[in-house]
Chain A
């Protein structure tokens, strides 16, 4: 099976405190630690496990600047067979639809049976997978937390729905699935693994090679334009306890007693 996994390089939410620039034009990016979007890492692991069972190969693609290479290489160190970088100044400021249109062009350059995305990325939009499927006119399922290959044409999949219940579906290939966290346990990638793939050539494709009209993507083609970042006016918010650790613990003890938090 030929699988394409779409991965996005994002500020690592576990490692960073996100702050908005004073002029609201962006978040402060200088000191951010970046990594692969958490959901995409599960998608790559799943693709590798499927190919281990039924054969085929895994390609990892990312749209971004030169720095996207670092996350593609990391996922290749996990075991993805090929990388693909989609880089062009014309892609900058794309909205979700623009990102999906670029990915569609990349999908059509290959012969894929299955395309995986993450359920969502740092913008929390959860939109690219569904848009990509619609642009390709392929069937789609979101929030997938189980994949079983049935035969050459269909997959049995689980979708995670409210309450953690699982909706089982059969879906025809080729299809697009967005992957939910927890579907597997992504393998650890060590420095040695990354070194092994350090010199592997990763093809780069721009708008021209993908056959994309630059005016249809990027900021020019965006139906959704980001105006600014801002910090909403703080509501009542929490009363922050002050003092030494011992003093704070003592205050909290009293509050917990008063609110019925101790038995």
Chain B
């Protein structure tokens, strides 16, 4: 099966998202000699700059500039893509907050198959694409056989495909802005409100003691706080801890929280979801304490302890205290 492959490039402040280079590798896992076309929407000089940047990696770049597209509103981008994409197209996009907003509805409108949050692509046989996904927060993986005879919208998990850094495409930017006239949507973008700043800055900490849902109850948070105090570390956490209002939002590590770069990271009662790990950069030394020996966090940690956090952490605190 031959199909035209496209990559939707997310960009901000004139710079392409990391996914731009990862989508090239993903496309090649479907069609080994794929030369995907990049699509960028936006407005102004920033858009031109990022199109030039992307043209180093994609042979064809479609630029759609319009004042209405200055902020990426999926409800406007979707009808635009419906006009732009040929029948049976395969579109790759990142599985981030924009991709989740755009992709599933776009697939339906295209009459194409939606393949969300893909972490691996085994290849195409006829019109059947075999992909790998994860379920249950990474506790199980699954192979899916997808009918792509009418095209597909595939959202790709960040970090799952090696970025193609070759930058040797010497591509061309084609201006498709004419297609953007007359776009309208029943959802209007108003503004972006920045996340609240808290009293601690976990992004500056060298050592983080991170609390997960495994702590079970707000009353148990001091167990982690004592360890952090004894170590001279700062307390951070996973999202459910913030949702439950046990700790403030500024302490949340992850894609919808803070990106941290500590030297040492203690993940206590944290399962290791990709949204959590997405906020952990700089290759820290990771220690995981989890009662489930199969928890995905043990795949990425350097050192693991299979134990109940409420039993093990006080013991560790005590040991450190004695050693001081």
Q: Do A and B bind each other?
A: yes
Q: In the bound complex, how far is the Cα of B98 from the Cα of A135, in angstroms?
A: 19
| B263 near A261: Cβ-Cβ < 8 Å | yes
Task: Take A228-B143, A230-B143 as given contacts and tell me if A168 and B231 are in contact as well, using a CB distance cutoff of 8 Å.
Answer: no
Contact residues in B for A260 (Cβ distance below 8 Å): 206-207, 263-264
Residue of A17, A122, A171, A248 near B135 (CB, 8 A) is A122
Instruction: Say whether B304 faces chain A, with CB atoms less than 8 Å apart.
Output: yes
CB contacts under 8 Å to A, within B257-279, are 257-259, 263-264, 266, 271
Q: Which of A125, A245, A263 contacts B315 (CB 8 A)?
A: A245
Q: B113, A223: Cβ atoms under 8 Å?
A: yes
A247, chain B: closest CB distance, angstroms: 10
Residues of B within 8 A of A166 (CB): 192-193, 195
Residues of A in contact with B, size category: 35 or more
List A residues 122-173 near B (Cβ within 8 Å).
122-131, 133-135, 138-143, 156, 158-172
Interface residues in A229-263 by Cβ distance below 8 A to B read 229-232, 234-235, 237-241, 245-246, 248-250, 252-253, 255-257, 259-263
A218 part of interface (Cβ distance < 8 Å): no
Contact of A252 with B103 at beta-carbon distance under 8 Å, contacts A181-B239, A261-B231 already known? no
A234–B97 touching, CB < 8 Å = no
B186 touches A248 (CB 8 A): no
- Interface members, chain B 211-259 (any A CB < 8 Å): 213, 231-233, 239-240, 242-245, 249, 252, 255-259
Q: In this assembly, does B55 line the interface, its C-beta being within 8 Å of a C-beta of chain A?
A: no
Q: Flag B280-324 by CB within 8 Å of A: 1 or 0 each.
A: 000001111000111000111111111100011001101110010
Determine whether A185 belongs to the interface, using a CB cutoff of 8 Å to chain B: yes
Q: How many A-B residue pairs have CB under 8 A?
A: 272
Does A224 lie at the interface of the complex (its beta carbon under 8 Å from any beta carbon of B)? yes
- Report B182-201 residues with CB < 8 Å from chain A CB: 185-195
A210 at the B interface (CB under 8 A): no
B187 and A141 contacting across the interface, CB-CB below 8 Å: yes
Whose C-beta in chain B lies nearest to the C-beta of A170? Answer: B188
Residue contact B186 to A168, C-beta cutoff 8 Å: no
Q: Check if A214 is an interface residue, CB within 8 A of chain B.
A: no
Is B45 on the interface with A (CB-CB < 8 A)? no
How many chain B residues touch A (CB < 8 A): the figure is 96
Which chain B residues lie closer than 8 Å to A187 at the CB level? none
Q: Which of B73, B193, B207, B305 has a CB less than 8 Å from the CB of A165? A: B193
- Between-chain CB contacts (< 8 Å), 30 pairs: A17-B294, A18-B294, A125-B133, A126-B117, A130-B102, A130-B103, A131-B105, A134-B104, A140-B105, A143-B100, A161-B97, A161-B256, A164-B249, A169-B73, A169-B187, A172-B187, A175-B187, A181-B239, A182-B242, A185-B244, A224-B147, A230-B141, A237-B301, A239-B304, A249-B316, A252-B287, A253-B316, A259-B285, A261-B285, A262-B232
Q: List A residues at the B interface (Cβ < 8 Å).
A: 11, 13-14, 17-20, 27, 96-97, 100, 119, 122-131, 133-135, 138-143, 156, 158-172, 175, 181-182, 185, 223-232, 234-235, 237-241, 245-246, 248-250, 252-253, 255-257, 259-263
